[in-house]
Amino acid sequence: MRCINFFILFFILTYLSAQENFYKETIPGTDLTIPMVYIQNGSFTMGSPKSEIGHFGDEGPQHLVSLDSYWIGKYEITWDIYNLFVSREIDQNQVTKLPDSEVQVDVDAVSGATTPYVEMSFGMGTDGYPAICMTQLAASKFCEWLSAMTGNFYRLPTEAEWEYACRAGTDKAFSFGDNSENLNEYAWYDSNSNEKYQKVGTKKPNPWGLHDMHGNVAEWTLDQYIPTTYRTRKKEARNPFQRPTKIYPKVVRGGSWMDSPKRLRSASRRPSSKKWKMRDPQIPKSKWWHTDAPFVGFRILRPVKTPVEEEQKKRNRILYVFF
């Protein structure tokens, strides 16, 4: 009897632990949810060694990074969710803010993206497919809109938070090891994508349960891209963040359906470019859309320790003033 009770207790504790490590954010007024995975605070070696196949100079020197805990999206944000932000048809369903809500901003105070002049999925699919072609500003404003709608504070991940989640406790080129021949099980990239992005979550997740960290669409982070950033950091950096000081370039991570394996590595860094707007006929060019970047999307992050309101405003100014 004691043995049975022990296993029942063990099952209950395991179930409760799993619930703490995972939750779904429901978008008010819809049946759509965003699954979020808990990432425990910890340390990891950021960057790649020169001996790694595909290594670029901007990935070194390797250095120790320590991060606070956070939740991160299990999947990349999809069109069916992102279009709610673009259309703004459900704003009246925002939650009633309580004194203990993480965010007190009213959704009406959040500016929204303009409707694009072309269909931005380019016929590759929308329902369950990753949203693409948005600028970093637009991705950040989506996070601000979602925060106002739900009362929980969301933002883009920093470059360090993104790599930590991608590696998922590993130190190899990919979260599954060094052999790129195994990519087909985990990622959509140039050799298997049929020249288009695919539905999120259709490949194996990494060890922490995150899908498409390698490939499908590359993902925005908060940081300014500086190729020599790692050279200026201390041997151990805590919650590093390269504050943006200009529009271009920003850091994009993960590689995409258009890329070769070397761009899908956990340490690979890619700078954004004004060339991603070349076909935009508007004058001035849109601050919301990168018409020539059908390979860029994003996923969201929620820090466990919520910034105070003034810090949220400060971070928002950091994010948006440079566009």
What is the per-residue pLDDT across 80-111, written as a single tens digit (0 to 9) for each? 999 999 999 999 999 998 888 999 999 999 99
Contact between residue 269 and residue 253 where contact means Cβ atoms under 8 Å apart: yes
Cα separation, 312 vs 101, in Å, equals: 13
How much is the pLDDT for 314?
58
If you average pLDDT over residues 264-270, what whole number do you get? 98
The tens digit of pLDDT for each residue in 162-198 reads 999 999 999 999 999 999 999 999 999 999 999 999 9
CA of 73: how far to CAs of 25, 162, 258, in Å? 10, 11, 22
Cα separation, 101 vs 306, in Å, equals: 10
CA of 206: how far to CAs of 181, 279, 322, in Å? 16, 36, 34
Q: What is the pTM of this model?
A: 0.92
Mean pLDDT of the chain: 91
Task: Locate the domains of the chain by residue range.
Answer: 25-320
> 25-320, which class in CATH?
alpha beta
Structure tokens at 191: 């050799």
Cα separation, 134 vs 279, in Å, equals: 14
The tens digit of pLDDT for each residue in 123-162 reads 999 999 999 999 999 999 999 999 999 999 999 999 999 9
